[in-house]
Amino acid sequence: MNWFAVSLFFHLIGVGMIFTVLIAGPIIEANYRWENDLRMKQHAAKLLRSVGLLSPFGALVLVLSGIANMVVKNITFANLFGSAAWLGMKLILFIVLLTIGMTTSPKIARQRAMLLEQMNQLNPPEDVNDKMSSLNSTQTISFLVQWILVLLILLLTLFKP
């Protein structure tokens, strides 16, 4: 059996899972921002959180299949800082991507859910719109940084310096 083909197959599945989150996230985010109805905003926010739950599974598949790829190709940890430094750089960028995706986005989602609940009250706080605008800007920056990291990872994969 060709173990590299099997591990590569699973690696591509993990990539697909991560790309699903990175493509669906901004689309749902745009829907969230364009929507004026508070209930629809809440629905979009829940949908965004649900899609975000896919990323840890995609990350797990990527990590396990990446380790399997390294084992099959006889790449050691020492190689990540030597002959396969491009792979080490990919790993570092991936860890940064995961850290941002698994800390920033869930935090923003929780804070926006709280603000949406406050907006649903009879007398919402005066600064709720300013806070929501700030969170929306932070989410945009987060998506942008994540896409930049993914593009850098793809470039390293394609052009292995």
The distance from CA 149 to its chain's CA centroid, rounded to whole angstroms, is 10
Q: Residue ranges per domain, the chain? A: 3-159
Q: Which residue bears the tokens 């059996």?
A: 1
The distance from CA 80 to its chain's CA centroid, rounded to whole angstroms, is 24
CA atoms lying within 13 Å on the CB side of residue 77: 0
Give 33-54 pLDDT, tens digit per residue: 888 888 888 888 888 888 888 8
The distance from CA 76 to its chain's CA centroid, rounded to whole angstroms, is 27
- Note the pLDDT of residue 123: 82
Cα–Cα dist 89/38, whole Å = 43
Q: pTM (2 decimals)?
A: 0.85
